[in-house]
Amino acid sequence: MSQATHSLGMIGYGEVGRIFCAGLKAQLAGLSAWDLKFAADPAGEARSHAQHAGVRATGSMQELCASATLIISAVTASNTLAVAEAAAPHLRAGSFFLDLNSASPGTKQAAAKVVEAAGAHYVEAGMMTSVPPYGIRVPMLLGGARAQELAAMVNAWGFDAKVVAAGIGVASAIKMCRSVMIKGLEALVIESYTTARAYGVEEHVLPTLAETFPSIDWAQSGAYFFSRVVQHGQRRAEEMRECANTVAEVGFDPIMASAIAAKQQWVADRAKAGVFAGVDKGARWQDYADALLAWRA
């Protein structure tokens, strides 16, 4: 089937959904999206953005699935299974369901079960870095019985997808194990740097990190880590809870993953409360730390 005959249905019109729609708009016959925000606020920013971006904002999950040959699920980690269950009754037989969400192998396997039972083809994806600035070229790992077929299709559109398994759970396990390290480093940096700033010892701490790991720019990385968690802490916390589930699914107590989730959530809650309202997007890590210290005082 040529790309011109494919119709994309995007579930979730947040940052990732918008980026993927923008990257695929010129290549596909139809481009539709469904987001709960469309129903909650019909005249709101999400629907308005879709309209100006040339994306058809549908009125329901059923309407979205009715015409789509490829469904992409790009929602928060905690909604991974719920979205698959909501979409399954409406999926066209033979259509593809590409799950981009950061969820545990067990969650992905449960989602695959309901999608496959509906006669559609479930393919899991593990996105291996932040979508910006890669867009649809973000490196992703795919898994599923029809993953090779889907990879050939989407790579022709500009994706960077690599199949790692015919079964469900391998791609998500790779993604989740990596996230324990990456999101854990974010949490460690925020806690270490802010505490160092409070004691006035950051000029001693950061050089010792550079001495041990000279390939890392610890000041620049610190600013990036702070900014990403402040902006996306809620989403990161949900992903880390799925990381904790991933650890638990193999019989271990997810001590570290749970602690990372708690730290990410803590920052997200401070951001929601306006603690970082005066901090510019390109600020230094010290500016983020100072905002936290001012809040504490």
- Residue 43 has what pLDDT? 87
Q: Are 106 and 130 in contact (CB under 8 A)?
A: no
Decide the pairing of beta strands 56-57 and 70-73.
Answer: unpaired
Q: Which tokens go with 230? A: 């402040």
Question: Cβ contacts of residue 227 below 8 Å, gap of 6+?
Answer: 281, 282, 283, 288
Taking alpha carbons only, the member of 110, 272, 289, 53 closest to residue 190 is 289
Q: Are 132 and 19 in contact (CB under 8 A)?
A: yes
Q: Which tokens go with 165? A: 């398994």
Q: Are 223 and 291 in contact (CB under 8 A)?
A: no
Taking alpha carbons only, the member of 162, 159, 213 closest to residue 185 is 213
The reply to whether the predicted model has a pTM over 0.85 is yes
What CATH number labels 172-296?
Answer: 1.10.1040.10
**For each of the chain's 297 residues, which pLDDT tens digit applies?**
444 567 999 999 999 999 999 999 888 878 999 999 999 999 899 999 999 999 999 999 999 999 899 999 999 999 999 999 999 999 999 999 999 999 999 999 999 999 999 999 999 999 999 999 899 999 999 999 999 999 999 999 999 999 999 999 999 999 999 999 999 999 999 999 999 999 999 999 999 999 999 999 999 999 999 999 999 999 999 999 999 999 999 999 999 999 999 999 999 999 999 999 999 989 999 999 999 999 998
Domain definitions of the chain by residue range: 3-167, 172-296
- Residue 1 has what pLDDT? 42
Q: Are 150 and 104 in contact (CB under 8 A)?
A: no
Domain 3-167 matching CATH 3.40.50.720: the answer reads yes
- Residue 5 has what pLDDT? 67
